[in-house]
């Protein structure tokens, strides 16, 4: 004869938390809310996660508990990528780093574009990721 335990559920009137009886123990019936966004976090999102974990532990913990961390990191990653693209385009245009230069001197064009990208990433890191 199998020992089947009846599943018993109670609700704590004080807190409103539902508990299930499992093997003689009352376990809270906790369900995580669904994240607003899901996906793979990119470079800037990972940088933001590292910053939050090291410098804003409470904020990191709250987002993690509320299941909002991944959504936040994906948002930051999107914002940073859009900002980088826009600033690189604007600065390259202002400094005449264009297709004409690319055709004349590829190495100069690559050097200047890398310089622009490095400056833009520094700006984005300070303005968005470290805030």
**pLDDT tens, residue by residue, 51-66:** 999 999 999 999 998 8
> Residue 45 class from Cβ within 10 Å (0-12 exposed, 13-18 middle, 19+ buried)?
buried
User: What would the mean pLDDT of 95-114 be, rounded to a whole number?
Assistant: 96
Q: CA 90, CA 16: separation in Å to the nearest integer? A: 55
Mean pLDDT, the chain, as a whole number? 91
Mean pLDDT of 22-30: 85
User: Model's pTM, two decimal places?
Assistant: 0.74
Residue 103 Cα distances to 14, 96, 113, 116, angstroms: 74, 13, 14, 18
- Residue 76, pLDDT > 70, answer yes
pLDDT at 47: 97
pLDDT above 90 for 50: yes
pLDDT in the model for residue 1: 42
Distance (Å, whole) CA 110 – CA 130: 28
Q: Which residue has the tokens 């064009």?
A: 109
């Amino acid at each position: 004869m199998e020992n089947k335990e009846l599943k018993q559920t109670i609700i704590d009137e004080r807190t409103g938390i539902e508990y299930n009886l499992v093997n003689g123990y009352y376990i809270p019936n906790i369900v995580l809310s669904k994240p607003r966004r899901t996906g793979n976090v990119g470079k800037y999102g990972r940088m933001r996660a590292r910053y939050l974990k090291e410098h804003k532990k409470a904020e990191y913990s709250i987002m993690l508990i509320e299941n909002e961390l991944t959504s936040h990191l994906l948002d930051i990653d999107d914002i940073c990528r859009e900002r980088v693209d826009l600033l690189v385009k604007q600065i390259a245009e202002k400094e005449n780093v264009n297709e004409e230069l690319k055709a004349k001197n590829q190495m100069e064009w690559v050097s200047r574009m890398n310089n622009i990208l490095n400056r833009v990433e520094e700006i984005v890191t300070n303005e968005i990721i470290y805030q």
